[in-house]
Amino acid sequence: MPVFVIDSPGSGIYINAKDSAYGAKGDGVTDDTAALQAALNAASGKACVIPSGIYLITASLRFPGNTKIFGTGVTSGGTIIRVKTGTALTTPVLCSSNWYDNSTTCGSPVEISDLQIDGNSAMSGADAHGLVAMNFWSSFDNISINNVTGDGFLYTAHSRNGTHITNTCVEPKIKRIQTRTTGSCGIHIKDSGSPVNSCTDGFLEDCIVTNAGTIGIALEMGPGWIVSGNHVYGTGTHAIYVSKCYATRVMGNYIDGYGAGTSTYISGIGMSVLDGRGSSCIGNHVGFQTNNATGPYQAFSIVGAGSNPAVCVVTDNTVIGGNQSGSIAYDLETVASQQGKLWTIYFHDNDSMGVVTRMYKDQYVTGGDIIGIGHIGSEGRAPTSSAGANAGSSPPAPVLSACTDMSGKITFGTGTSPAAGAQAVVTFFNAYATAPKVVVSPINSASASLNLHVTSTTTALTVSSVNAPAASQANTVYGFFYHVFI
């Protein structure tokens, strides 16, 4: 909790909300709305201290710019601002005056820390958020927000009536925010970018988000942000989604279950990357939600979504799967706006267990590439394999080694009277929506002499030979590596 050096109560250095001039009680019984608002109004250019206690409110508290607001922490016995039971509050518990008054510009810097905000399940409406800020160069630290029907913490470039501000609202420091049980996002950075990209170059670190009705952490404006060390679980849809990324770093986050609601597309960590200023997704851990949602689960979704060459480094991430049919560990793809532009992903030292990796999904010609460096693990459910129609009479069964629907090694032999044509068939554990592209490589010179080639359907791949193999060979004589691309 903060430490203050104060000469005397009348020094003017700080405002104490419990001073007689303001009269807040913090007793959990009195309506302290007017008293707290008076203290905040007087605190412009100063620090407003809200001592320990439970402060009941019946209307939004609005803070001016150039203000410091401090409580005494988020532990038991700290500072709690709670919506009074029976109050149908449709606006935020605590918010920027500039936002509330529909200003066309953001407010001056503020520092807010060591508070508990409790919507008391008494809030309703689209604007029933916990804390709303529209202030540049501001700091928010060690704040707990619970039981609101809107967003838990909203940092925005849009005033209350939805109008986008005309200036920038840059470089916020958002740290150690806890949001629990919110109707919409846990933490939301809202910025449409029109007419200007406002909410850029921020720090969102060491936060805890649980039971968000929609997205756990949503950044509509990702340029220059560092999103690190956050723990997100129990969300309705995505856990962390960062749009419009460039020079964006998503690092060391822990996703422990997500997508409990209904969606056609659910990602643990999603990034849409706009240009070549080197965004990165490094050292994150994603675990799948136990319960199935309607939409497909994608632990990581990294999308080229700009109109310029784009680059993203994806490394040292880990995925632990579940029993979700059709789920994907790493989904790397492009959208229409990237068509004709380079889209490069440096993808290495990523692992997955219990769920397959989709290396590439590209319905557009981008001219780009995926560059895989080092170990790429994919330990999904194994397909099955059988001898092909041209492997001869009574051939031995093919042998699968470290096989998934995406990659693996298969060795095979022949029966009597084999012929050129289908030698081995691999049946996918989960069918694809469209027939994938497959690359095969012979494992030895004997296999290379067969001149192997591959065809695929949505349910299987068939490896055939141009040349006839030798008869009556063991199931270790021939073989191939395969890799599936979508």
Pick the more confident residue, 288 or 30.
Answer: 30
For residues 259-267, give the mean pLDDT.
78
Give the model's pLDDT for residue 431. 83
Q: Which residues contact 475 (CB under 8 A, 6 or more apart)?
A: 395, 396, 397, 398, 399, 411, 412, 413
SS3 call for 257: coil
Residue ranges per structural domain of the chain: 1-221, 232-380, 384-485
pLDDT over 70 for what percent of the chain?
A: 88
Average pLDDT of every residue of the chain: 88
12-16, 39-43, 68-72, 100-104: least confidently modelled range: 12-16
Each residue of 226-250: pLDDT tens digit?
999 999 999 999 999 999 999 999 9
pLDDT at position 99 over 50: yes
Give the model's pLDDT for residue 294. 63
Residue 64's nearest CA partner among 37, 28, 31, 29 is: 37
Give the model's pLDDT for residue 325. 60
Give the model's pLDDT for residue 51. 97
Residue 81's nearest CA partner among 58, 56, 105 is: 56
H or E segment at 446?
Answer: helix 445-448
180-184, 222-226, 426-430: least confidently modelled range: 426-430
Pick the more confident residue, 296 or 324.
Answer: 296
Residue 307 one-letter amino acid:
S
Distance between CA 235 and CA 270 in Å, rounded?
14
Give the model's pLDDT for residue 368. 44
For residues 371-393, give the mean pLDDT.
71
Q: How confident is the model at residue 261 (pLDDT cuts 50, 70, 90)?
A: confident
Q: Which of 144-158, 273-287, 419-433, 447-461 has the highest mean pLDDT?
A: 144-158
H or E segment at 328?
Answer: strand 328-334
Give the model's pLDDT for residue 400. 93
Give the model's pLDDT for residue 202. 98
pLDDT over 90 for what percent of the chain?
A: 66
Distance between CA 352 and CA 104 in Å, rounded?
47
Give the model's pLDDT for residue 374. 40
Each residue of 195-219: pLDDT tens digit?
999 999 999 999 999 999 999 999 9
For residues 262-269, give the mean pLDDT.
81
pLDDT at position 41 over 60: yes
H or E segment at 34?
Answer: helix 33-41
> Which residues on neighbouring strands pair with residue 462, listed in sequence order?
425, 455
pLDDT at position 49 over 50: yes
Residue with tokens 């009556």: 472
CATH code for the structural domain at 1-221? 2.160.20
Give the model's pLDDT for residue 136. 97
Each residue of 394-420: pLDDT tens digit?
999 999 987 878 778 899 999 999 999
Give the model's pLDDT for residue 404. 79
H or E segment at 38?
Answer: helix 33-41
297-306, 369-378, 391-400, 406-415: least confidently modelled range: 369-378
Residue 80's nearest CA partner among 17, 150, 134, 160 is: 17
The vertex-461 CA angle with 459 and 463, nearest 5°, equals 160
Pick the more confident residue, 278 or 463.
Answer: 463
Give the model's pLDDT for residue 289. 64
Each residue of 312-359: pLDDT tens digit?
999 999 988 765 666 778 887 777 777 667 778 888 888 877 666 555
Beta strands in 191-327 (DSSP E): 203-205, 208-212, 217-219, 226-228, 231-233, 240-245, 249-251, 254-256, 266-273, 279-282, 285-287, 297-304, 310-315, 318-320
Parallel, antiparallel, or unpaired for β 452-456 and 460-465?
Answer: antiparallel
Residue with tokens 């009597």: 416
SS3 call for 273: strand
Q: How confident is the model at residue 5 (pLDDT cuts 50, 70, 90)?
A: very low
